[in-house]
Amino acid sequence: MMIKGKGISKGIGFGNVVVIKNQEIKIQETTVENTEDELERFKKALQEITTETAEIVNNSSGTEKEIMTAYLMIMQDPSLITETEDLIKNSKYSAEYATEVGLNSVIQIFENMNDEYMAGRARDIVDIKNRLIAKLLKEERVDLSNLKPNTIIVAKELTTSDTAKLNFKNVSGIITEIGGTNSHTSIMARTHSLPAITKVENATEILKNNDYIAIDGESGEIYINPTEEEKNKLLEIQKTISEEKNELEKYKNMESKTKDGYKVELVSNIGTPKDVELVIENTSEGIGLLRSEFLYMDSESMPTEEEQFNAYKEVAEKMEGKPVIIRTLDVGGDKEIKYLNMEKEANPFLGYRAIRLCLDNVDFFKTQLRALLRASAFGNIAIMFPMISSIEELKKAKEIVEECKKELDEKNIAYKKDIKTGIMIEIPSAAIIADKLAKECDFFSIGTNDLIQYTVAVERGNEKISKLYTKYHPAVIKLVKSAIDGAHKAGIFCGMCGEAASDKLLIPLLIGLGLDEFSMNSNKILQSRKTISKLNKKECEELASQILEMASATEVEEKLKEFIEKNV
Amino acid sequence: MKTEKIILKNETGLHARPASEIAKIASKYQCTINLIVNDKTINAKSILNIMAAGIKSSTEIEIQCDGTDEEAALAELLQAFNNNFGE
């Protein structure tokens, strides 16, 4: 049988289904007669999750081990369960209900503490509570970090914290009921070169645990118990994909330069420290964009300076001196964070987001900046501000960085004294006054996704007008040129971290315009290095001057296609 | 009973990691071990008790050990506090 969805990440996967259901468990107030049996049941459940956690502790190392050890000790702490046991013994509550009530009272103590870090520990206890109740109800909790090899995950939707736990080595595909091309799941799937299909109606009902299926992440086809013929067809596609991949292997560890020796930097966009593996595997030359949102989105409360410092430090150390550009918090717009209590706005993309929000909330902005500065002592970190639209914002942000440096100096805490600060060029006003902004910072990175949407006034997610959203619009290209020229006039470098940076058609134009750094998903690095190696800088410059004369996006796209066909 | 007063130097206070260090050490000993902070008594063998107390940096803490192995327990705890829990 074959069902179909929308392919969002290329590749073929064969494997067994694991369905993830994230239903909220509601516990009813129930009482029991035999309190001793009930107490026994509770203790057994606790014993089971303790054993499971102890195993994780044994198999982990470093910071993770420390965190898991503390978590295990909370689990083993007698005062965690005093109240729960009392409720079973004296109020004759069922084990499930007693756990719910008893642990909630502990959770409250932590939630009410006037300390963001401690309040954050409440979520550890919530997690323990949920695991206990699941055990008591004998519900199988899917352990995402411990899947069997060749698992195909089927879910309504994967949350950020789900994917953070995933052990990708054992996953051979992902199927979800909801989510688009730019959803978190699809970006993550493409980053890890995992086939993924979305918009599969009722997938979590149709597909059952342990079903053997085969999927094609490009066509969106899902074969349940595939026939020999179907299998062979997919294996054929898989072969082509792996041949293409092998061809790209040659470009590992090569310099990124054109035929005539013009060198550029090819670096990665990443979303979490876990992604560093792929950065290294694809011999990317650094990190052009580390989105710091993961720290905030995965968390129930504001991440502390310590938590942030550890995450940034981990990335900086793993990159061994290669550049790591970390973007300060970029929320608002389409990215919401519960505990910031952001108001709903009529035009979130034109609203209170990113640097605008940070400059108004200096305390939490400083928490992040101090963490970044401290981590800079362990590697080549640079700080990047998003959504800069004016020189005032840039100056204000830099002032706050200077204040943080002073605070660290007073405490004799080390940081990289000559740490670079730069900005995203993603608002047309910034691109237009790029020459002025360039005098106040150390680098630019052009964020094309937002720059396009603000230039052509088309919201990225709105399908009715998506045809108007194009990276080949001559106005967008003019703004890119303005940013690059502005940077070079002031003697600073200009990169690009939007999707356009890895667009095969645009690469020759960007080389021609003089872009210094291309930042993209790690899995695009080798392909882009190959493209660049076939180009000639002089010819790209000629191409650029022709393109700059053009009036329509269609014309631009056709010209770029023609150029690529001729040269690459 | 053996007691000793110290000032917490650890900059971020007794968060999960140092709290787990203390509870881990305390649990090795037979004797009763309490931390007295602002007149509150905290069971040093309970990581939850320690964390729930939300002890901030520069707070005065009295360590009380009472039982057969009180001397050794106090010595090891003092050492952990003085080393800032390795931070």
Pairwise pLDDT comparison (A379 vs A179), residue with the higher score: A379
Same-domain pairing of A430 and A512 = yes
Closest Cα in chain B, distance from residue A85 (Å): 16
Contact residues of A toward B, CB < 8 A: 66-67, 69-70, 73-74, 77-80, 106, 109-110, 113-115, 117-118, 121, 304, 306
- The pLDDT value recorded for residue A60 is 76
The answer to whether the beta carbons of residues B65 and B29 sit under 8 Å apart is yes
- Tell me the angle at which helices A506-513 and A474-489 cross, rounded to the nearest 10 degrees: 30
Out of A200-204, A297-301, A465-469, A501-505, give the one with best mean pLDDT: A501-505
A234 and A255 part of one domain: no
Whether residue A114 and residue B54 make contact (CB cut-off 8 A), yes or no, is yes
Asked whether the beta carbons of A429 and A405 are under 8 A apart, the reply is no
Longest dimension (CA), chain B: 33
Distance from CA of A411 to the nearest CA of B (A): 11
Q: Which residues contact A40 (CB under 8 A, 6 or more apart)?
A: none
Give the per-residue SS3 of A489-529: HCCCEEEECCHHHHCCCHHHHHHHHCCCEEEECHHHHHHHH
pLDDT digits (tens, 9 = 90+) for A128-180: 888 888 888 876 667 777 788 999 999 988 766 567 677 888 999 999 998 77
Average pLDDT for chain A: 90
pLDDT of amino acid A410: 95
- When CB atoms are compared, the residue of B15, B43, B47 closest to A74 is B47
Q: How are the residues of chain A apportioned to helix, strand and coil, as percentages rounded to the nearest 5?
A: 55, 15, 30
State the pLDDT at residue A159.
Answer: 67
B6, containing H or E segment = strand B2-7
Q: In this predicted structure, which of A62-76, A227-241, A486-500 has the lowest mean pLDDT?
A: A62-76
End-to-end CA distance of chain B: 29
Quick one: A110 and A75 in the same domain?
yes
Determine, yes or no, domain membership for A522: yes
pLDDT computed for residue A333 by the predictor = 62
Q: Determine whether A256 is exposed, middle or buried from the number of CB atoms within 10 Å of its CB (0-12, 13-18, 19+).
A: buried
Name the pLDDT band for B13 (thresholds 50, 70, 90). Answer: confident
pLDDT of residue A79 exceeding 90, the answer is no
- CATH code, domain carrying A89: 1.10.274.10
**Smallest Cβ distance to A109: which of B15, B52, B56?**
B52
A302 plus A210 within the same structural domain: no
Query: In terms of pLDDT, which residue wins out, A525 or A163?
Result: A525
Interface of B with A in 13-32 (CB under 8 A): 13, 15-17, 19-20, 23-24
CA angle, corner A385, sides to A382 and A390, nearest 5?
135
C-alpha distance from residue A17 to each of A3, A6, A157, A204, A208 (Å)? 14, 18, 15, 10, 7
- Rounded distance between C-alpha atoms, residue B79 and residue B37, angstroms: 19
pLDDT of residue A294: 83
Confidence of residue A335 (pLDDT cuts 50, 70, 90): low
What gap in Å lies between CA A59 and CA A81, rounded to an integer? 26
User: What's CA B4's distance to the chain center, in Å?
Assistant: 11
Choose the final residue of a domain: A247, A272, A290: A247
Q: What pLDDT score was predicted for residue A495?
A: 98
Question: Residue A426 maps to which CATH number?
Answer: 3.20.20.60
Domain containing residue B68: 2-86
Position A115 pLDDT exceeds 70? no
A448 close to A510: Cβ distance less than 8 angstroms: no
3-state secondary structure A145-211: CCCCCCEEEEECCCCHHHHHHCCHHHEEEEEECCCCCCCHHHHHHHHCCCCEEECCCCHHHHCCCCC
> Which of A67, A80, A113 lies nearest to residue B54, judging by beta carbons?
A113
Question: What confidence tens digit (pLDDT) does each residue in A218-270 have?
Answer: 999 999 999 999 999 999 999 999 898 899 999 999 999 999 999 999 999 99
Cβ within 8 Å, pair A109-B24: no
Q: Using alpha carbons, select from A155, A134, A138, A157 the residue that is nearest to residue A26.
A: A134
**Predicted pLDDT of residue A183:** 66
Confidence of residue A105 (pLDDT cuts 50, 70, 90): confident
What is the spatial distance between Cα A531 and Cα A507, in angstroms, rounded to a whole number? 8
Q: What does the pLDDT read at residue A187?
A: 74
3-state secondary structure of A26: coil
Which residue is closest to B15 within chain A, CA to CA? Answer: A118
Vertex A557: Cα angle to A290 and A218 (nearest 5): 60
Residue B47 C-alpha, separation from nearest chain A C-alpha, in angstroms: 6
Q: How far is A103 from chain B (nearest CA, A)?
A: 12
Q: Is residue A492 part of a domain?
A: yes
Q: Is the pTM of this model over 0.80?
A: no
User: Which of A427, A448, A425 minimizes the C-alpha distance to A438?
Assistant: A425
Task: Indicate whether A514 belongs to any domain.
Answer: yes
Residues B24, A149: Cα–Cα separation, whole Å? 36
What average pLDDT does this structure show over A446-470? 89
Handedness of CA A435, A437, A440, A443 (dihedral sign): negative
Number of domains within chain A: 3
A370: β partners: none
Residue A30 falls within a domain, yes or no?
Answer: no
**One domain, residues A154 and A277:** no
Whether residue A69 and residue B23 make contact (CB cut-off 8 A), yes or no, is: no
Q: What would the pLDDT profile of A275-300 be if each residue is shown by its tens digit?
A: 899 999 999 999 999 999 888 876 77
Res A94: pLDDT: 92
Residue A310 distance to chain B (closest CA, Å): 13
Which residues of chain B make contact with A306, given a CB cutoff of 8 A? 12, 15
Same-domain check for residues A366 and A260: yes
Look up residue A136 and give its two tokens: 């008591």
Q: Is residue A28 part of a domain?
A: no
Asked if A110 and A130 sit in the same domain, the reply is: yes
Which residue do the tokens 């082509």 mark? A240
**What is the structure's pLDDT at A334?**
62
- Point out the residue among A66, A74, A115 whose CB comes nearest to the CB of B48: A74
**A376 in any annotated domain:** yes
Catalytic: A184?
Answer: yes
Among A87, A106, A136, residue at a domain's last position = A136
- Look at residue B11 and give its three-state secondary structure: coil
Sheet order of strands, B40-43 included = B2-7, B60-66, B32-37, B40-43
Structure token digits, residue B44: 């040093």
Contact residues on chain A for B19, CB-CB shorter than 8 A:
70
ipTM above 0.85, yes or no: no
One domain, residues A242 and A322: no
Listed as own residue / partner, the contacts of A402-407 with beta carbons closer than 8 Å and 24 or more positions apart are: A403/A366, A404/A366, A404/A369, A404/A370, A404/A373, A405/A373, A407/A366, A407/A370
pLDDT band, very low/low/confident/very high, at B18 (cuts 50, 70, 90): confident
Q: Which domain holds residue A297?
A: 250-567
Determine whether the interchain pair B48/A306 forms a contact, defined as Cβ–Cβ distance below 8 Å.
no
Inter-chain residue contact A79 with B46, CB threshold 8 Å: yes
Which of A80, A115, A304 is facing B48, going by the closest CB pair? A80
Q: Are the beta carbons of A110 and B24 separated by less than 8 Å?
A: no
Is the domain of A177 the same as that of A280? no
Q: Looking at residue B68, which CATH number applies to its domain?
A: 3.30.1340.10
Helical axes B16-27 vs A62-76, angle rounded to 10° = 60
What local confidence, expressed as pLDDT, does residue A235 receive?
95
Residue A27 falls inside a structural domain: no
Nearest to A159 by CA among A65, A300, A291, A29: A300
DSSP class of B56: P
Q: Report how many domains make up chain B.
A: 1
Flag whether residue B60 sits within 8 Å of chain A, measured between CB atoms. Answer: no
Grouping H, G, I as helix, E, B as strand and the rest as coil, residue A371 is helix
Whole-number Å distance between alpha carbons of B8 and B12: 10
CATH number of the domain bearing residue A17? 3.50.30.10
- Residue A10 and residue A45 in one domain: no
Q: A79 and B16: CB-CB below 8 Å?
A: no
Are residue A88 and residue A237 in the same domain, yes or no? no
Tell which of A76, A105, A136 closes a domain.
A136
CA A337 to CA A293: how far, in whole Å?
9
Is A358 catalytic? The answer is no
Q: Strand order in A196-198's β-sheet? A: A2-4, A221-224, A212-216, A12-20, A151-155, A171-176, A196-198, A6-9
Cα A156 versus chain centre, distance: 19
**pLDDT at res. A255:** 95
In a domain, A273, yes or no: yes
Query: Left, alpha or beta for A226 (phi > 0: left; psi -120 to 50: alpha)?
Result: beta
Q: Give burial (CB, 10 Å; 0-12/13-18/19+) of A48.
A: middle
If asked whether residues A102 and A154 sit together in one domain, one would say no
